[in-house]
Amino acid sequence: MHLSAFDPPADELEQLLAAAGELITELIAGMPDDDVLGHPRGDELIASLLDTVPGAPAPLDEALATLRAVLATGDHSTAPGELAYIPGSGLVASAVGELIAQVANRYTGLPGFAPAALALEASVLRWLTATFGLPERAQAVLTSGGSMANLAALVAARDRYAPDAPHLATVYVGAHAHASVRKAARIAGIRGDHVRVCPTGDGLRMDPEAVRVAIKQDLADGLQPIAVVAAAGTTNAGAIDPLPALADLAAQCGVWFHVDAAYGGFFRLTQRGRARLAGIERADSITLDPHKSLFLPFGTGALIVRDRDDLTRAFGEDADYLRDQHDPVADELPDLGSLTPELTRPWRGLRLWLPLHLHGVDAFRVALDEALDLAAQACTDLRDDPSIELVGSPDLSIVTFRGPGGDREQDALLAAVNADGHVRLSSTVIDGRVVLRLAVLSHRTTAAEVDLAVARIRAAAALSEPDGWR
C-alpha cells in the first residue's frame, strides 16, 4: 500500500501525536496556576519568526521547541484570572473533536456527501433551536463567530424587507450594540447613517419607545425599516435589552427582530438566565457564540433563524457543477451551502458535539450558574465599598464600576489591579465615562480569582481616595 509523502507511516504518526499530546497535557496542567499577563512579549522571537521563510524540512523537535517558545509569550487568555473583555477559555474536548474532524475532512457543504457526518452536526443544530425555544421551521447554522452570524442575520433581514432597495433600509440598534452589527450593516449595503443608534432608557438598555419614534420618522421620510437589533447582553456591561417589548414593537412595525446574544445567549441553560432572557424565543434570528458562553476554542459562532426560508432566500444558489448532488435521501438534512454564505466549510459540528457528549449539557449549566454566582458575589462585595460606584447592576456575569476620581484615575486603578498579571480586568466607556469591567465567563475561573480581583480593586480604590496617600 502506498502512503502519500504527506501521510506519515503509523509509527511516525504515533510519535507526532504523542508529542502533540505531551504539549497539550503540559498546557492544560499549567493553566490553573497560569497568569494572564506578565509573560514576555517575545520581541526577539517575533523578529526571528517574521524573518523565517519556510524551506527545507525541519525535525519535529525543532518545531515543538519553537511552539513552546511562542506559547510562553503574550497574554494567556486561557488563565483562570482572565476577567477582561469577554473571556474565552477553550475546551480541550472541543479541540480534540476538531482534530478528528480535520483529519477525516468530511465534506458537509452539501447534504449528499457525508450524510451521517452532517446528521451529527444537525443534531447539535436542532439542540440549539430547541434550547432557544424556536419552532421546527427554524434553522441553526454554525459560523466562524458572532460577527459572521450578525452579518448573515442582517443579510437575511435585508432580503426579506428591502431586497431591491438596500440604500433605503434602516436598522435600529442600542447605544451599546456590538460594533459587528454596524459592520454587518455596511457589508450588507446598508448606509452607515441608516443604522439608527437609539437612546437607552436607563443608560444601559434600549428604550423601545425611542425605537418606535425612530421607525415612525423613517417611515414618514420614505425609508424602509428592516430590523430591530437587541443585545442579550451587551459586551460593555452584560445588559439585556427589553426583549419582550422590542419583540412586540418589531411585530407591530413589521420588521425583523434580531437578538445578538453572542455573549449572553447560553445563560439560557440556567434557570436565572432563562428568566432574564425571556422573549429571546420570539426573535426572527439569534446570534450565539459557543466560543464565548459555551467555552469553546475561538472560531465557532452560531446563528438561529426562525424561518429557514429566509436563509435560503438570502444564500441559496445553484451551480451546474453540483448538478449530480441532489440527494433526496438527504432531504431532512440541512443544505448548508444554501443556508450560509459558505460552501466548502470545516465540519464544525464535532466541536460542539464531542464536548456536549463527553460532559453533558448539565456540566455547562453548572459552569454558567457558577459564573452568575461569582459575578453576583463580586457585585455585592464591590457595592459594600463606599469608594466604589457600581454602574448599573449586572443582568448576567459582567460587573461594571468606577473607583474614586475621574477617567484618569480609572485607568490608574485598572493598571494597579492588573499589575501582577494574576487577574486581568478591562475598561470601556459608558455614558461618556470610563468604567471598569469584571467579566466572569471562563470555565476555569473560580472564587479564588474573583476574590483576588475584588481585593485588588478595593485596595487600589482605597489608595486612590483623595486622602488615601497620606
Ligand X SMILES: *Cc1c(COP(=O)(O)O)cnc(C)c1O
Closer CB to ligand X, 168 or 398, in the complex = 398
Q: How far apart are CA 310 and CA 39, in angstroms?
A: 47
Closer CB to ligand X, 180 or 387, in the complex = 180
Q: Check residue 301 for interaction with ligand X (CB under 6 A).
A: yes
**Closest separation between CB of residue 366 and ligand X, Å?**
22
**Closest separation between CB of residue 229 and ligand X, Å?**
10
Pairing status of strand 224-231 against strand 169-174: parallel
CA angle 272/281/127 to nearest 5° reads 85
Interface of this chain with ligand X, residues 141 to 180, rule: CB under 6 A: 145-147, 150, 178, 180
Q: Could you tell me the three cell numbers for 215?
A: 421607525
Per-residue binding letters, 256-295, with ligand X (x by CB under 6 A)? ----x-xx-------------------------x------
**Closest separation between CB of residue 301 and ligand X, Å?**
5
Closer CB to ligand X, 143 or 270, in the complex = 143
Q: How far apart are CA 90 and CA 444, in angstroms?
A: 10
Per-residue binding letters, 311-350, with ligand X (x by CB under 6 A)? ----------------------------------------
Closer CB to ligand X, 196 or 456, in the complex = 196
Closer CB to ligand X, 86 or 204, in the complex = 86
Q: Which residue, 355, 356, 300, 325, is CA-closest to 140?
A: 300
**Closest separation between CB of residue 412 and ligand X, Å?**
27
User: Which residue's CB comes closest to ligand X?
Assistant: 146
Closer CB to ligand X, 297 or 421, in the complex = 297
Question: Which member of 235, 418, 428, 442 binds ligand X (CB under 6 A)?
Answer: 235
**Closest separation between CB of residue 87 and ligand X, Å?**
11
CA angle 124/129/132 to nearest 5° reads 120
**Closest separation between CB of residue 465 and ligand X, Å?**
33
DSSP 151-178: HHHHHHHHHHH-TT-GGGEEEEEETT--
Q: Kindly state the helix (H) or strand (E) to which residue 257 belongs, with its residue range.
A: strand 256-261
Task: Find the helix packing angle between 349-359 and 92-104, rounded to 10°.
Answer: 140
**Closest separation between CB of residue 55 and ligand X, Å?**
35
Please enumerate in sequence order all residues whose Cβ is within 8 A of that of 382, keeping only pairs 6 or more positions apart, or say none. 388, 390, 399, 401, 454, 457, 458
Q: How far apart are CA 50 and CA 345, in angstroms?
A: 29
| CA dihedral angle for residue 450, residue 442, residue 235, residue 458, rounded to 10 degrees | 10
Q: Are 297 and 291 in contact (CB under 8 A)?
A: yes
**Closest separation between CB of residue 291 and ligand X, Å?**
6
**Closest separation between CB of residue 232 and ligand X, Å?**
8
Return the amino acid letter for 207. D
Interface of this chain with ligand X, residues 194 to 233, rule: CB under 6 A: 231
- Count the residues of the shown chain that bind ligand X, applying the rule CB under 6 A: 14
Closer CB to ligand X, 160 or 258, in the complex = 258
What is the sign, positive or negative, of the torsion defined by CA atoms of 19, 21, 22, 27?
A: positive
Q: How far apart are CA 18 and CA 9, in angstroms?
A: 14
Question: Which member of 79, 83, 84, 86 binds ligand X (CB under 6 A)?
Answer: 86
Residues that bind ligand X (CB under 6 A): 86, 145-147, 150, 178, 180, 231, 235, 260, 262-263, 289, 301
